[in-house]
A and B are shown apart, each in its own frame.
Chain A
Amino acid sequence: MNAETLWPPVRLTLELAGMTTVFLLLLGTPIAWWLARTRFRFREAVAALVALPLVLPPTVLGFYLLIALGPDGPGGFVARLFGDRSLAFSFPGLVIGSVIYSLPFTVQPIRSAFEAVGDRPLEAAATLRASPWDAFWTVAVPLARPGLIAGAVLGFAHTVGEFGVILMIGGNIPGATRVLSIAIYDHVELMEWGTAHLLSGSLLAFSFVVVALTLSLQRKMGGGDR
């Protein structure tokens, strides 16, 4: 048990979760906004598609992602543009998989927050000559801030705790795809109980803090709304 074996998976995990959270917000916020505002008839079908990773076994999702990211899928096509063969078993591949896997955890709270904002403040902004884009940033986003924070925190935490999808599409390459949850699995396999304890305990504490934080944010959001 030393820093050299402990640190790389932790760092990789934080990098993955951080990067994933950025993309989750960039992708999830417009989706959440659209879901909250549209009158499109098949809106809930789109919502179901976004929520699918909630119920799908990670291995199933991982399997399809493996094919999509592999040399014969669209991921392979993209990889070839950068002189690579495949996005599977690479860090960018992990980010893509994590974004899809954690998307519902980010979209749901943000969508609820946008729905709670309602039409009125946006109409008021329009009568004050704020364009829709202006009103989105100056009215909708600030009013939905607790939901955005909750979405980011949950997306980050869920990515930190990811296992199945990563194992399927990333394997276990030290420094490239060997994240915390997989490192713990390895340590247990090798009967290194002490290290497994340390990492697991840290994740337990981290998860508790995250859940507590999110709940209190959601309480604030719900209770503050008069």
Chain B
Amino acid sequence: MTGSGAAPGALEVGLRGAVGELRIEAAFEARAGETTAIFGPSGSGKTTLLRAVAGLTRLPGRLALGPATWQDDRRGVFVPAHRRRIGFAFQEPALFDHLTVEGNLRYAERRSGEPEADPLVSFAGVVERLGLDGQLGRLPRGLSGGERQRVSLARALLARPAALLLDEPLSGLHRPARAAILPWLRALGEASGMVILYVSHDLGEVVDVAHRIAPIASGSVTGAAPAARAIHHLPAGDLLSRFEAGSVLTATVRARLPALGLSELDLGGQRLRVPGAERPTGTEARLRVRARDVALATEAPTAISIRNVLRGRIVEVRGLPETPFTEVGVAIADQRLVARITRDAASELGLEPGREVFALLKTVSFDDA
């Protein structure tokens, strides 16, 4: 399905240059209808890159959204920011202080070039979804940081962009509030066909929202990979040292066990029990498992406290340089789980690709818990 404010296509980014001390080298594509997370630590050039895509900062190179070329230095093309079909949410929301919340949102809507309300991104829908109903008459100065960010996101959406550029747009919100917004945003992007670039240094956020992840380190982005795969392949060194390696699994809620405070899920025919019983039966849920919370056994374990044991096949064994650890990739149905165990254990058990193993999941959590 394609909304009226829909994107004409993928966003191609090819930029290379310096802003002050920071060198940016970015070559990747963000697909229409997908959320691509630009993920990396602070100071890695995320914001500069996003500003360059918007046309607020100029870096040499080429930018195109589908058939529309935004920038091509070889042909001397540079479309100014106000002629690009973008929506932009700054990390520090730049609301118009002389307008009310509603005034800010209408400012965007009036200039969106969409005379008829887009059913996917309607004023009322966005306001309700971002919890701004009660705030419409207020002036931005009186709002809290989290409220300002929500207004800023709503305003960017109401510009009905073909490319929505978000710079840590929810950093001021509490986790439950964020968890309510991110899946909606992701789904909105899918339905409307817009490109979403989501800049973040928070792995949890990225996992919730992103179809693809484009890791950034010292200003360099070399591509975007599907989220599930990218998370396993995030380098263990400098980029990931501050983040936890882990996997994201998708499973279907089969039963709710409120008395135990658990949900029972089905993952490719295997059973899992996960704390939390709020999700309706039959829905898909994303689960997060940290690599260090996974143990491996070559025989079915018995009489242990760990409830979640999944049978799978090793697809990759990868030593982590300069550490005593090895990461083992295990295929479970069509999904992939990563375990971090010691090199010593891996060689003693003879873990090799192709071998069948049992993965013991010490902790599994719903992704938004």
Contacts and interface: CB of A to CB of B under 8 A. Distances in A.
B81 A123 contact: yes
Interface string A134-145: 110011001101
Interface string B82-101: 11011110101011111000
Interface residues of B, number: 28
Given A129-B83, A130-B111, A138-B107, 11 more contacts: A123-B81, A123-B90, A124-B88, A126-B55, A126-B82, A127-B86, A127-B159, A128-B108, A129-B113, A132-B82, A143-B97
A131 B82 CA distance: 6
Nearest to B158: A128
Given A127-B56, A128-B159, A121 B82 contact: no
A125 B90 CA distance: 12
Contacts of A129: 82-83, 85, 111-113, 159
Nearest to B160: A129
A126 to B, nearest CB: 4
A39 interface: no
B61 to A, nearest CB: 20
Contacts of B165: 127
A124 B141 CA distance: 16
B111 A226 contact: no
A112 B156 CA distance: 29
Given A120-B94, A143-B97, A127 B107 contact: no
B190 to A, nearest CB: 23
B273 interface: no
B81 A124 contact: no
B306 to A, nearest CB: 50
Nearest to A145: B98
B137 interface: no
Contacts of B98: 139, 142-143, 145
Contacts of B80: 126
A145 B111 CA distance: 23
B141 A126 contact: no
Contacts of B55: 126
> Which of B92, B96, B155, B159: most chain A Cβ within 10 A?
B96
Q: Which of B82, B92, B96 has the most CB of A within 10 A?
A: B82
